[in-house]
């Protein structure tokens, strides 16, 4: 299947938009604890959506998973479990930093580690620094890393400028030092998703053969691998949410249409990554009210499906990336998430009340991230042009001997050889 870096960038950006938007439906969930809506949304993103999409698009999707070696399946699942830890603390990041800043910091780390570690581990990093296209692509990665520092400066500026009341108006528990530390851990652990994709490469190969046999599109070859990875993420999140249900006695929220007053208090970070917001924003208003169960389930299903679609589009985008530049797809994906998340943060007024200086920092961060995607795309373009040029030089024109004197000057000028018929 041929590469097309423009289509690859577009697909990664579609995945980024889905990922940056997944947390917004959760804001519409009423009178549920964090562990309730997080697990319900996770059931859709980690189980229902990946199996459904694979079943529709990949005939016999379970075959490649069962045919792969036990080692491949184990490490694909294991890195999925570690990625699940990043997902858990990602919820805390949103809680302490808000959607815009939280995603910017966590995903910048995720972009850096997820992009650079696989080529270093596979021993291909040296080949990158010895070529023009490799250096250009790596420079795009480092421009993305600069977004980490700029986002951090914007966050510190916001914390200094806003009063406690202004901070909690949009992010109730805004805490930049704690949030930045959690975001760092979350970003590094979340990068394990890319490690899991690398570990599951042989499943992709088997799926590609199956699709070729069945006449399916090779763009779906990564869907069975996602099932294994996301099952690992489900394991981590299910165990943690179950412990929180037991501790907070919140398991009945799935069925009981009323919330008890004692369940409406703020849960601290020690209790887990979540809280149940008091009605009308005050503990005094904590009166049992009907919980809109159908809407809660609907919004969780929407959030979970959006979360999955980021990986759906990511695997599609990777099929269009040149082989030696597939590592940069993670940077494109993460940068696009940060861009759209920052825009969501602006739309949700999380930066309201800050100075022009802070706005300038966040704008600079956006420009750097957009620039990083352009630079990585440029590196892809240079690689594609170099590959095309090398291919042309290897072409041999087969012709009768009596016509070579007419063709020799033109063909040799183009770097083509002549082989006599």
Whether 345 contacts 98, CB under 8 Å: yes
Q: What's the pLDDT score for residue 361?
A: 83
Q: What's the pLDDT score for residue 266?
A: 33
The residues spanned by each domain of the chain are: 5-420
Query: How far apart are the C-alpha atoms of 278 and 266, rounded to whole Å?
Result: 7
Angle of helix 328-347 relative to helix 99-122, nearest 10 degrees?
180
| Residue found under tokens 């960038």 | 9
Q: What's the pLDDT score for residue 127?
A: 67
Q: What's the pLDDT score for residue 197?
A: 85
Please name which of 55, 2, 7 lies closest in space to residue 316, comparing C-alpha atoms.
Answer: 7
pLDDT tens across the length of the chain (421 residues): 556 667 777 887 888 888 777 877 887 888 888 788 889 999 999 999 999 999 999 989 999 999 999 999 999 999 999 989 887 887 677 677 765 566 667 766 776 676 666 666 666 667 667 778 778 877 877 887 787 667 667 766 766 676 555 555 555 666 778 888 888 888 788 778 878 988 998 999 999 999 998 888 888 988 999 999 999 999 999 999 999 899 988 888 888 754 444 433 333 323 333 333 333 333 334 444 555 788 999 999 999 999 899 888 888 877 777 666 566 666 677 677 777 777 777 776 767 777 888 888 878 877 887 777 677 667 766 766 666 666 555 444 455 555 545 555 554 554 555 454 4
Q: What's the pLDDT score for residue 224?
A: 95
Query: How far apart are the C-alpha atoms of 258 and 288, rounded to whole Å?
Result: 6
For residue 183, give Cα distances in angstroms to 92, 180, 229, 291, 408. 8, 5, 22, 31, 63
What tokens does 213 get?
């046999």
Task: List, in order, residues 6 or more apart from 365 with CB less than 8 Å away.
Answer: 104, 147, 150, 151, 154, 342
Query: How far apart are the C-alpha atoms of 397 and 374, rounded to whole Å?
Result: 38
Q: What's the pLDDT score for residue 256?
A: 73
Please name which of 393, 338, 323 lies closest in space to residue 5, comparing C-alpha atoms.
Answer: 323
Whether 379 contacts 115, CB under 8 Å: no
Angle of helix 99-122 relative to helix 70-97, nearest 10 degrees?
150
Whether 116 contacts 141, CB under 8 Å: yes
């Amino acid at each position: 299947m041929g590469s097309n870096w423009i289509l690859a960038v577009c697909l990664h950006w579609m995945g980024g938009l889905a990922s940056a938007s997944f947390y917004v439906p959760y804001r519409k969930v009423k009178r549920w604890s964090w562990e309730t809506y997080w697990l319900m949304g996770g059931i859709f993103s980690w189980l229902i959506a990946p199996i459904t999409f694979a079943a529709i698009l990949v005939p016999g999707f379970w075959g490649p998973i069962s045919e792969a070696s036990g080692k491949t399946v184990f490490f694909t699942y294991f890195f999925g479990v570690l990625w699940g830890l990043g997902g858990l603390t990602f919820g805390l990041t949103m809680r302490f930093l808000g959607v815009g800043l939280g995603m910017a910091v966590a995903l910048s780390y995720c972009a850096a580690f997820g992009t650079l570690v696989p080529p270093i581990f596979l021993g291909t990093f040296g080949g990158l620094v010895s070529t023009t296209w490799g250096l250009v692509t790596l420079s795009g990665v480092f421009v993305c890393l600069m977004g980490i520092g700029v986002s951090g400066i914007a966050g510190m500026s916001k914390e200094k400028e806003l009063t406690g009341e202004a901070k909690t108006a949009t992010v109730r528990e805004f805490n930049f030092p704690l949030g930045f530390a959690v975001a760092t851990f979350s970003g590094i652990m979340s990068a394990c998703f890319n490690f899991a994709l690398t570990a599951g490469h042989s499943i992709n190969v088997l799926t590609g053969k199956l699709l070729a046999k069945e006449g399916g599109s090779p763009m779906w070859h990564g869907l069975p691998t996602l099932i294994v990875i996301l099952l690992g993420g489900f394991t981590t999140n299910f165990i943690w949410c179950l412990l929180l249900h037991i501790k907070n006695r919140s398991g009945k929220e799935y069925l009981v249409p009323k919330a008890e007053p004692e369940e409406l208090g703020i849960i601290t970070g020690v209790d887990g990554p979540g809280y149940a917001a008091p009605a009308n924003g005050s503990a005094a208003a904590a009166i049992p009210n009907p919980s809109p169960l159908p809407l809660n389930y609907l919004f969780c299903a929407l959030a979970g499906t959006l979360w999955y679609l980021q990986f759906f589009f990511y695997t599609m985008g990777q099929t269009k990336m040149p082989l030696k530049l597939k590592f940069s797809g993670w940077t494109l994906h993460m940068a696009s998430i940060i861009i759209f998340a920052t825009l969501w943060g602006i739309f949700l007024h999380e930066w309201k009340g800050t100075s022009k200086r802070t706005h300038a920092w966040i704008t600079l961060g956006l420009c750097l991230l957009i620039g990083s995607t352009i630079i990585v795309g440029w590196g892809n373009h240079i690689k594609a042009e170099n590959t095309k040029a090398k291919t042309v030089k290897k072409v041999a024109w087969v012709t009768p001997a009596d016509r070579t004197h007419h063709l020799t000057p033109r063909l040799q000028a183009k770097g083509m050889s002549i082989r006599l018929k």
